[in-house]
Structure 1
């Protein structure tokens, strides 16, 4: 749902498969302190789970 929302709104993002990529998993834990998916990391905030209203507000949509 999060990927579709981002795609539908023309938002570019970088996706990591933390289940298969050990380096990505370690980086996600270091930066976001979570392995829950989706976890969306911004410079100053981490959104865990898909909350459309919260994501819209953060992206200014």
Structure 2
């Protein structure tokens, strides 16, 4: 799988989006941020990859997590160790 830049689809004012952005920032994950309210193209892409319109939605290659809390994202990430590693999280990552 080729390495791509992780993308997060957000809506301004979304508290879950703010929490997700803070989480990724704390862990040094560089993201492409796409506001789905500012671009119909961003909304269409999010709908295409996730089948829904809720944010935040995270895309990294084939790994997509839609409408998530940070805990839900961590749970999903734990299921795919290769993606966890590619994103720069350690095996025994301290999630706090």
What TM-score does the superposition give when structure 2 sets the normalisation length? 0.53
Deviations 1:9-45 (A, max 9, x none): 0001111111121111111111222221111112222
Equivalent position of 1:24 in the other structure? 42
Higher relative contact order (CA 8 A, sep 6+): 2
1:54 aligns with 2:61: no
For structure 1, which runs of at least 5 residues remain unmatched after alignment?
none
The structure with the greater share of residues assigned to strand is 2
**C-alpha distance in 2 between matches for 1:6 and 1:38:** 12
For structure 2, which runs of at least 5 residues remain unmatched after alignment?
1-18
- State the superposition RMSD in angstroms: 1.9
1:12 aligns with 2:30: yes
**Aligned with residue 41 of structure 1, among 59, 62, 65:** 59
Bigger Rg over Cα: 2
Secondary structure, aligned partner of 1:19 = coil
